């Protein structure tokens, strides 16, 4: 071991410079609070969209225990956080600095979406900078990470739905809650992933296509296959254009 390294170890193990739990994952309280504010803004925007389009709020589920809206908020938080944090962690893996920020341009898109009535769930973006941004391959990989996380979440929530169906006979309430969570999460993640993969402008799909069309076609194909044969893609399209059906 070099003497320089020993000095560094002494500094790192010092009480005052000891690393936090958040610092281990390259997170800060400021960034987490920004993510939470983004979540709240998304929920408010969706409520406003539904009010302007005349869709009734607060309808109880069959179980009578939970409101569908709270399940939707819970699921939206999970899928949005994983989508953004996967971008961040892959960028950090390639030696870049990355941070989630609420950007005014994205908020402008959200305002346009409220006027149109079509939900564009954009509040901010993960900004990342460093040497690795100059490589097309790494840029494509970092932007492909979000939709891939959505794909994994779709798989997890289909299993949740299946477990709910298995519980239906003995534990009816728990089974119904699991089924509702699974259904909303599956179609929300399919919508998030498929919308982000559109090859337009600042969306993730443009960068993935610029890197390699093969990966883009594979991702879009997997999303469309899941949508057509498992999730009823047309049903979701009707839901999104005709208002969210979770209310």
Partner 1 sequence: MEFQSKFLGGFLMIGALCVAYFILIPVHQLPSFFLNSPLSLILFYGYSPVNIGLVLVAIGFVTSIIGLVFYYLLYSSDRIKGFKAEYEISPDLTTFKAIPYSKNESSVQEKETPEKAFCSHCGKEVFQPYRCNSCKQLLCGKHYLSGDHSCVEERG
- Residues 198-217 interacting with partner 1 (rule: CB under 8 A): 198-202, 204-207, 209, 213, 215-217
Window 172 to 201, contacts with partner 1 (CB under 8 A): 182, 198-201
Q: Pick from 3, 5, 14, 15: which binds partner 1 (CB under 8 A)?
A: 5
Q: Which of 49/98 has CB closer to partner 1?
A: 98
Which ranges of the chain does DSSP label H, i.e. alpha helix? 3-12, 21-24, 29-52, 68-93, 104-116, 136-167, 172-196, 204-211, 213-229, 233-241
Q: Which of 56/229 has CB closer to partner 1?
A: 229
CA separation for the pair 247, 231 (Å, rounded): 19
Window 70 to 99, contacts with partner 1 (CB under 8 A): 87, 90-91, 93-94, 97
Q: Which of 50/161 has CB closer to partner 1?
A: 161
- The answer to whether 219 and 197 have CB atoms below 8 angstroms apart is yes
Q: Which of 44/136 has CB closer to partner 1?
A: 136
CA separation for the pair 197, 147 (Å, rounded): 7
Can you spell out the DSSP letters for 99-127? Answer: EEEE-HHHHHHHHHHHHH------SEEEE
* Residue 47 Cβ vs partner 1, minimum distance, rounded to whole Å: 27
* Residue 189 Cβ vs partner 1, minimum distance, rounded to whole Å: 11
Q: Which of 181, 139, 27 is nearest to 89 (CA)?
A: 27
Q: Which of 57/198 has CB closer to partner 1?
A: 198
Window 99 to 158, contacts with partner 1 (CB under 8 A): 103, 125-135, 137-139, 141-146, 148-149, 151-152, 154-158
Asked if residue 3 binds partner 1 (CB under 8 A), the reply is: no
Query: With CB under 8 A, what is the number of residues at the site for partner 1?
Result: 78
Q: Which of 73/85 has CB closer to partner 1?
A: 85
CA separation for the pair 45, 57 (Å, rounded): 14
Q: What angle do CA 202, 124, 234 make, to 5 degrees?
A: 65
CA separation for the pair 157, 189 (Å, rounded): 9
Asked if residue 160 binds partner 1 (CB under 8 A), the reply is: yes
Asked if residue 60 binds partner 1 (CB under 8 A), the reply is: no
* Residue 236 Cβ vs partner 1, minimum distance, rounded to whole Å: 11
């Amino acid at each position: 071991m070099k003497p320089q390294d020993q000095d560094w170890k002494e500094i790192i193990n010092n009480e005052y410079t000891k690393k936090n739990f958040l610092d281990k994952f390259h997170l800060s309280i400021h960034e987490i609070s920004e993510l939470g504010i983004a979540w709240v803004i998304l929920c408010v925007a969706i409520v406003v969209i539904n009010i302007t389009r005349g869709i009734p709020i607060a309808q109880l589920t069959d179980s009578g225990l939970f409101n569908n809206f709270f399940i939707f908020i819970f699921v939206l938080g999970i899928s949005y956080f994983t989508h953004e944090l996967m971008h961040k962690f892959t960028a950090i893996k390639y030696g870049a600095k990355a941070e989630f920020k609420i950007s005014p341009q994205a908020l402008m898109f959200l305002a346009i979406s409220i006027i149109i009535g079509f939900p564009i769930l954009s509040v901010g973006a993960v900004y990342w900078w460093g040497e690795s941004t100059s490589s097309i391959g790494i840029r494509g990989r970092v932007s492909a990470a979000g939709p891939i996380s959505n794909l994994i979440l779709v798989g997890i929530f289909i299993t949740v739905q299946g477990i709910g169906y298995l519980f239906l006979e003995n534990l009816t309430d728990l089974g119904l809650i699991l089924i509702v969570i699974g259904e909303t999460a599956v179609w929300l993640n399919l919508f998030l992933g498929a919308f982000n993969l559109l090859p337009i402008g600042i969306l993730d799909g443009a960068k993935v296509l610029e890197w390699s069309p093969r990966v883009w076609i594979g991702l879009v194909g997997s999303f469309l296959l899941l949508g057509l044969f498992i999730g009823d893609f047309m049903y979701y399209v009707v839901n999104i254009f005709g208002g969210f059906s979770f209310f």
